[in-house]
C-alpha cells in the first residue's frame, strides 16, 4: 500500500500567532507554506488581510498569495484543486507542505475526501433554482439557503450560485444540511496529516485583535480600501471580507471612522469565536495554548516535538 503524503496544517483564530510559528516550523522542517486564507489570494488587499511581507517570510516560499484580482470570485472547489496541486509540487522537491490559515471550510475541503457528487440529485429542482436565480438574483437564492442551512450559507458566497444551489439540492433530497451530510460521510484523510491548532485565553486574544486593527489603520488600511472603492468595486466576494466592508461603510458615509473601526474590531472578535467553534466541531485538532508570550521558543520546541512524532519527520537542526 502506498504511503500517504505528509502534510502539516496550522489553524487557529485570527491574530493568535500562526504566521510567526509557521515560519519557525517551515525552517525547522525544510517546509514551504501554502496560505489557507480565502482572502490573501487577492492582489492589493495586503493590510486588511494581514498578509505576510517579504521580510517576514525569512526566505520561506509561500504559495496561493496574490493570485487573483479583487473583482474575481474564488470557490472552495478551486481552492481545493490548487492546494492539492501545490502539495504534490512541494513534496516533489523533497519539502514538507505546510498549510496555514483560518478558513475552516477551505482547509477541510483539501485534507478530507468528500464526495458531494454521491449525494442524491434532483435535476428538475436544480434547474428550477438556476432559472429562479437568473430571474430574481443570487441573493434571493442565498437567502433560501440561509433559512434551511445557515452554516453552509455562512461559508458559501452568494455569487457562488452553483454551490449554493447544490447545498439546497442536498437539503431538498435528503432533509439534511450539507454539513450534516458531510458528517454522515465520515470521509478519509487524504494525507498523513499533523493538524495543530493555536488557541489563546479569550481576553488576551481579543486584546491582540484590537491592537492588530489599530495597527492596520496606522499601516494604511483606509488608503488600501479607498483604492478599491474608487475603482467602483461593489458586489464582489473580496469586498465582503472583514476589514473592507466596514471601511466601505465609512467611505460611503454610512458610519464615522470611529464607528467603522469599532465595528471592525467587533466583527474580527466574532469571527475569531466562529473560527474556534468551527475547528473544534469539525476537525480532530491537537491544540496548543499560545497565551503566554514570554517563552515562545519553548512552545515551538513542544510543537516541533509533536510534529516529529506524528509525521515521523526529522528537523533541519
Spans of the chain, pLDDT less than 70:
1-2, 114-118, 182-186, 293-294, 317
pLDDT of residue 182: 66
pLDDT of residue 116: 58
**Whole-angstrom distance, CA of residue 214 vs CA of residue 192:** 39
- The answer to whether the predicted template modeling score (pTM) of the entire model surpasses 0.95 is no
**Whole-angstrom distance, CA of residue 248 vs CA of residue 255:** 9
Give start-end residues of each CATH 1.10.20.140 domain in the chain: 116-185
pLDDT of residue 227: 96
Give start-end residues of each CATH 3.40.50.300 domain in the chain: 6-113+188-311
| CATH architecture label of 116-185 | Orthogonal Bundle (1.10)
pLDDT of residue 301: 92
**Whole-angstrom distance, CA of residue 9 vs CA of residue 111:** 9
Using the CB atoms, write b or e for 84-118: b if 16+ within 10 Å. Answer: bebbeebbeeebbbbbbbbbbbbbbbbbbebebee
CATH of domain 6-113+188-311: 3.40.50.300
pLDDT of residue 1: 38
Amino acid at each position: 500500500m502506498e504511503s500517504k503524503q505528509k502534510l502539516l496544517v496550522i489553524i487557529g483564530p485570527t491574530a493568535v500567532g500562526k504566521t510567526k510559528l509557521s515560519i519557525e516550523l517551515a525552517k525547522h522542517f525544510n517546509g514551504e507554506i501554502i496560505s489557507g486564507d480565502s482572502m490573501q489570494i487577492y492582489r492589493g488587499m495586503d493590510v486588511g488581510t494581514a498578509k505576510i511581507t517579504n521580510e517576514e517570510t525569512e526566505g520561506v516560499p509561500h504559495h496561493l498569495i496574490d493570485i487573483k484580482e479583487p473583482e474575481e470570485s474564488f470557490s472552495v472547489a478551486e481552492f481545493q484543486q490548487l492546494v492539492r496541486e501545490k502539495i504534490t509540487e512541494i513534496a516533489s522537491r523533497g519539502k514538507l507542505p505546510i498549510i496555514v490559515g483560518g478558513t475552516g471550510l477551505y482547509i477541510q475541503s483539501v485534507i478530507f475526501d468528500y464526495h458531494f457528487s454521491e449525494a442524491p440529485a434532483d435535476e428538475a429542482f436544480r434547474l428550477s433554482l438556476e432559472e429562479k436565480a437568473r430571474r430574481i438574483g443570487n441573493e434571493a437564492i442565498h437567502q433560501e439557503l440561509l433559512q434551511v442551512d445557515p452554516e453552509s450559507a455562512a461559508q458559501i458566497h452568494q455569487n457562488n450560485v452553483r454551490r449554493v444551489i447544490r447545498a439546497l439540492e442536498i437539503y431538498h433530497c435528503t432533509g439534511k444540511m450539507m454539513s450534516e451530510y458531510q458528517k454522515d460521510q465520515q470521509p478519509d484523510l487524504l494525507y498523513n496529516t499533523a493538524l495543530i491548532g493555536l488557541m489563546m485565553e479569550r481576553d488576551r486574544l481579543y486584546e491582540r485583535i484590537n491592537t492588530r486593527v489599530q495597527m492596520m489603520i496606522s499601516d494604511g488600511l483606509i488608503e488600501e480600501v479607498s483604492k478599491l472603492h474608487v475603482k467602483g468595486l461593489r458586489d464582489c466576494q473580496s469586498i465582503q471580507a472583514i476589514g473592507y466592508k466596514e471601511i466601505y461603510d465609512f467611505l460611503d458615509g454610512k458610519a464615522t471612522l470611529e464607528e467603522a473601526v469599532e465595528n471592525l474590531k467587533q466583527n474580527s472578535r466574532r469571527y475569531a469565536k466562529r473560527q474556534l467553534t468551527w475547528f473544534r466541531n469539525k476537525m480532530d485538532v491537537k491544540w496548543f495554548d499560545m497565551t503566554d508570550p514570554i517563552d515562545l521558543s519553548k512552545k515551538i520546541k513542544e510543537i516541533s516535538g509533536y510534529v516529529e512524532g506524528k509525521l515521523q519527520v526529522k528537523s533541519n537542526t
